[in-house]
A and B are shown apart, each in its own frame.
Chain A
């Protein structure tokens, strides 16, 4: 498997190298959980919808939901319990397992 460097900022708590396999696993969950029903995500085919913000170049985004810094740790937290971060958000709780949320985080941070 090809190795990709994934160190994009100082506070990045992702491992320095993550395998393409891990990225692909995350991409699979993104498709299966229907994230593309609300977000435009490069590389994940489907109808393009605009309920939420487009997620292209996600790794460069500074904040999540306009309030918490966009670190991998925070993103995983947000994916697992969006209403814990912002009570009234339209982002649904998808009952992800921690491993799935982690996997999706790795995929989203691979979007440069």
Chain B
């Protein structure tokens, strides 16, 4: 028994020594691809992402934030976003400046920020920045009102369409709003989806309406088409047809009236009841993990 433990310990020690030595040789040889144009290895990304997530989660808990669902706050955040964030992170339909496209890691688009982070975590990142990523901390010279406004707008991006964003931009640049601007997010239809949609019926309907002729859809027999995009993990997708925010209200509308949303789309308009559209929407939102983290995001800050 005792000798067994000794063998195990010795083996572990040897493995540690050899891998440590290997790491030193790799570093000393200069073979590590340090250039920004060589992508990270998948494993590197996983480890770094995990470190980042845990470090931020642990620290963000103690931040105090006011109610961010405030039109004035979001409007102020829009202006600050234009000055401080846009150049690297871009905006709906805008990739940011060409100057920063060679960054590795790239500054991620923030339209999905609220899907992955809580309000507090977003505020923490803006306030403190993230080492070795190019993300600066804005702690110095920034009053907490500005931090709250930026956090409020970054969180609003999640449900902001290209069209709505452009209206905000026009108002910001000219000071004139030709039509009312929706600073607060509209209802996404999550409650209605829970109430009305029947996933199993939707799955059968997707098959019956022949959706699989053009789309690959998990769980629908014979759905192997490649005319439209694959609908894998649909609930995690951010846009419909590259322009509508992917939420239950928009998807149920798109399924029935695609040509109204985008004339000339290949997506055909099929006559169906509203109920059919809601059932198919419910099934599609059951694909992937998205429904759980997106449907609660407005009010519940603890689900990521």
Contact = CB atoms under 8 A, between A and B. Distances in A.
Contacts of B230: 53-54, 56
Interface in B93-129: 93-96, 98, 101-102, 104-106, 108-109, 111-112
A89 interface: yes
Interface string A17-59: 0000000000010011110011000001111011111101100
- Majority secondary structure, B binding face: loop
A73 interface: no
Given A52-B242, A92-B90, A67 B264 contact: yes
Contact of A53 (B96, B229, B243): B229
B17 to A, nearest CB: 29
B277 to A, nearest CB: 18
Nearest to A44: B39
B121 to A, nearest CB: 16
A90 B238 CA distance: 10
B241 A32 contact: no
Contacts, number: 113
Interface stretch (B40-48, B130-138, B200-208): B40-48
Interface residues of B, number: 48
Contacts of A86: 242-243, 262
Given A34-B101, A63-B227, A50 B237 contact: yes
Nearest to B227: A62
A10 to B, nearest CB: 16
- Residue among A46, A91, A95 with the most chain B CB within 10 A? A46
7 contacts: A33-B101, A45-B39, A50-B236, A51-B109, A61-B229, A66-B265, A88-B162
Interface of A: 28, 31-34, 37-38, 44-47, 49-54, 56-57, 60-63, 65-67, 83, 86, 88-95
